[in-house]
Copies of this chain bind each other. A is one copy, B any other.
Amino acid sequence: MDAGIPGTAHRRGLMLMAAAAGASLAMPGPLMAAARCGGGDLSDVKAAIDKQRPEAIKRLQDWIALPSIAAEGLNAQEGAQYMAELLKDAGFQQTTIIQTDGRPGVFATMDNGSPRSVGMYLMYDVKQFDPSEWSSPPLEARIVDRPGLGKVMIGRGAVNQKGPEASFLAGLHGLRAAGRKPPVNIVLIAEGEEEIASPHFPQLVRRPEVLSALGKCREVWMPFASQTPKGSVEVDLGAKGVIEVELVCSTKAWGRGAENDIHSSYKAELDSAVWRLVKALSTLVSEDGNDPAIDDWFENVQPLTARQKELIAEQAANTSEAERKKFLGVQTWVRDLPYRQALERLASQPTVNIEGMYAGYTGPGGKTILPSKAVAKLDLRLVPNQTADEAERKLKAHLARRGYGDISVTRTGGYDPTQTDETSPVIQSALEVYRKGGLEVGMSPRLAGSWPGYIFTGPPVNLPAAHFGFGHGAHQHAPDEYYVIEAENPKLRGMAGASLGYVEFLYALAARS
């Protein structure tokens, strides 16, 4: 998922024991129900999972060996097929590959005869990678010692999201091996375009058979490695939206200057596409580059609520700014803000980011050309009540109003923001299982990263959506992505512990009928 460095980075140590305790105390009924009906003694399942550990690791390694990369058009059909097989093996009675206008998804259901159904969201695609930047081959998923953490698996997708997802599947295998049925029915939808911002995911979810199945669920959740290296965990109550767009400024579309690259000496009499893009981009943000300056951008932006501010104040009070800065390699917050205000910005501010840019000659030394084309790749993070469609429309209108209508704006994907109420069963179940596991639990009003939760929290599905999972990994979207298989710290769960956690979570959900 496109969610920052979950479990390690911006979440590191964001513990909110007081707030979490407060939330649980507000729901004594369900908690007591969970204690009564939460699966009871799961030592048989734990034993089965431990026994199946080698197969579970091998299953994850084999999956990592088949990278599906939507941005590169790599292994879309193969990835969906593999996903469907994994689900079948784990006990889903029905798995259907659904084609879209992009890459296919997988719709799967497991009927366990339970009165309670839960929705799940998985992804089978991974981010691009350059093997030369890795210390271990990204598709070999080798297990290496990482002092301080334990044994970790290094591979593309290790933590984002194949590791947590494979751990969940290992939990289902464990239940079966222990002679149990999962305590809930499962409606699962998997996509292969999450890393390009899920452009066709709505097509999958809004299929009548999928909508109908989700209609029986009370939530949708995604397996996720939520723990910091120290073992603590943070529950996010929402996530920013995002649009990714590519801006292309070309002399051909502009109708000015030379149609193709030309010797730079002609600059004196010819317009430049690169200068045009630089000038156009420059209008999109404030002088320091930190606030969107797109016309009407803040029209629907909601300020933080008092409760959200309270959660953030507690985060700031209960965590170490110095430690977080060190972990992230951060020198300063924008405008040298105090920590609490930096955290508030992280949760509340829409952003306009240039994730990449290129024009003309980019090799060693110089080359005296006047380029005919310049490209910028932007991601724009959105907060409630902005929408992805609104953002695209306003960006285009802003450019057109300034005479930059010829600069093409191609949206490669986008999510609306998503928000889930902290009193919902999925959040309360997560808090309960984490706490039973002895973890310090925090709560964050909103993840600064993005995931397509809006597909579930928005119409027509309108369900709470959240992440859940023990375990830890890091370096998502970066070299040496890893997932902890065996943890040194007893508070941090490795793969088998995470698998058990998913089983505990299913029982907790079942208890909140």
> What residues of chain A have their CB less than 8 Å away from a CB belonging to chain B?
2-5, 9-10, 70-72, 127-128, 196-197, 240, 242, 244, 246, 251, 255-272, 274-276, 278-279, 281-282, 285, 287-290, 328-334, 337, 342-343, 345-371, 374-375, 377, 379, 381, 412-413, 447-450, 476-478
Contact = CB atoms under 8 A, between A and B. Distances in A.
A140 to B, nearest CB: 22
A330 B258 contact: yes
Given A263-B476, A266-B4, A279-B287, A366 B374 contact: no
B368 A355 contact: yes
B366 A258 contact: no
A271 B349 CA distance: 14
A408 to B, nearest CB: 15
A367 B128 contact: yes
Nearest to A359: B357
Contacts of A256: 331-332
The A interface, classified by DSSP as helix, strand, loop or mixed, is mixed
Contacts of A71: 363-367
B360 A360 contact: no
Given A263-B4, A282-B278, A356 B366 contact: yes
Contacts of A259: 329-331
B265 A449 contact: yes
Contacts of A288: 271, 275, 279
A258 B331 contact: yes
A28 B355 CA distance: 66
Nearest 4 interchain pairs by C-beta: A275-B289, A71-B365, A356-B361, A356-B360
A328 to B, nearest CB: 6
Nearest to A287: B279
Given A362-B357, A363-B71, A371-B355, A3 B379 contact: no
Given A5-B263, A358-B358, A251 B331 contact: yes
Contacts of A359: 354, 356-358
Nearest to A333: B269
24 contacts: A4-B266, A10-B265, A72-B363, A197-B366, A240-B265, A244-B368, A251-B331, A257-B332, A264-B351, A265-B346, A265-B448, A269-B343, A270-B334, A271-B334, A272-B289, A272-B353, A272-B354, A354-B359, A355-B360, A355-B366, A355-B367, A355-B369, A356-B360, A366-B379
A194 B498 CA distance: 63
Given A268-B334, A269-B346, 19 more contacts: A10-B266, A71-B363, A71-B367, A196-B366, A255-B331, A258-B329, A263-B477, A264-B379, A265-B381, A268-B346, A274-B357, A278-B282, A279-B287, A356-B361, A356-B367, A356-B371, A358-B362, A360-B377, A361-B377
Contacts of A353: 264, 267, 272, 368, 370
Contacts of A357: 274, 357-360, 362, 374
Given A281-B278, A477-B367, A345 B268 contact: yes
Q: Which of A255, A355, A362 has the most CB of B within 10 A?
A: A355
A208 B127 CA distance: 60
